[in-house]
Amino acid sequence: DAKTTQPNSMESNEEEPVHLPCNHSTISGTDYIHWYRQLPSQGPEYVIHGLTSNVNNRMASLAIAEDRKSSTLILHRATLRDAAVYYCILRDDGSSNTGKLIFGQGTTLQVKP
């Protein structure tokens, strides 16, 4: 599976936008970009995913670079409840894939009041 690179940690102020970057320079044409987050003492939670076009949902937006070698998860207004570990994961939709998510270390987001 292609790998992703994320900063270990980031800080944000409450009510401000947060941009969480992810580099995936070896991404293949069949890789979907998935984002999950894990709040303290909980299981991971699906946030958003995309292939080529930018995506929006009620939780966040996903901006994908034109060459697809990087992406950014955007939280439009951070709240204290958004403090979590955010994982950027590539999921291959190719025929050789087993489809399982392989989690890296993610980015620990701290939100300050």
Cβ distance to other proteins smaller for residue 23 or 30 = 30
CB of 113 to other proteins, least distance (A): 25
Binding of residue 9 to other proteins (CB under 8 A)? no
How far is the CA of 54 from the CAs of 24, 48, 64, in angstroms? 16, 10, 6
- Asked whether position 52 contacts other proteins by CB under 8 A, the answer is no
Window 70-109: residues binding other proteins (CB under 8 A) = 91-93, 97-106
Strands 107-112 and 9-13: parallel
Beta carbons of 79 and 12 less than 8 angstroms apart: no
Q: Which stretch binds other proteins (CB under 8 A): 11-19, 20-28, 38-46, 71-79?
A: 38-46
Contact call for residues 50 and 63 (beta carbons, < 8 A): no
